[in-house]
Amino acid sequence: QVQLVEVGGGLVQRGASLTLSCVISDRTDRNYVMGWFRQAPGKEYEFVGCISRSGTYRYYGDPGKGRFTIDRDNAARTMSLQMNGLTLEDTAVYYCAATGQSGTYYTERDEYEYWGQGTQVTVSS
């Protein structure tokens, strides 16, 4: 069974930075393509970005281009999302996700089999 746990959400001021982490645990040493999604109140899930198994390739959705950075530490089984220049529009529940599919990256919600419980990020003015 694969479990994902996000940590690091909270309340921050506009313009601030925040880093989220995702810890993956399972009974194997299998590596996964991992991604971040978010859902703002009353809105659909939005793709934030993903990272390949080795960490070589990163692909970002529109919300985070130029402001967000995804990284991973396979030895520690963690993935991070560094967010800079946060705006009110970044307020959402952020989810990490993982897929065992063989491709390099995935951007659609239904391509990911495993999900964390989400962590709330609230940006205030």
Residues 87-117: tens digit of each pLDDT = 999 999 999 999 999 999 999 999 999 999 9
Quote the mean pLDDT of the chain. Answer: 95
Please give the average per-residue pLDDT across 61-80, as a whole number. Answer: 94
| pLDDT-derived band at 122, boundaries 50, 70, 90 | very high
Cα–Cα distances (Å) from 28 to 1, 3, 31, 32, in that order, read 9, 12, 9, 11
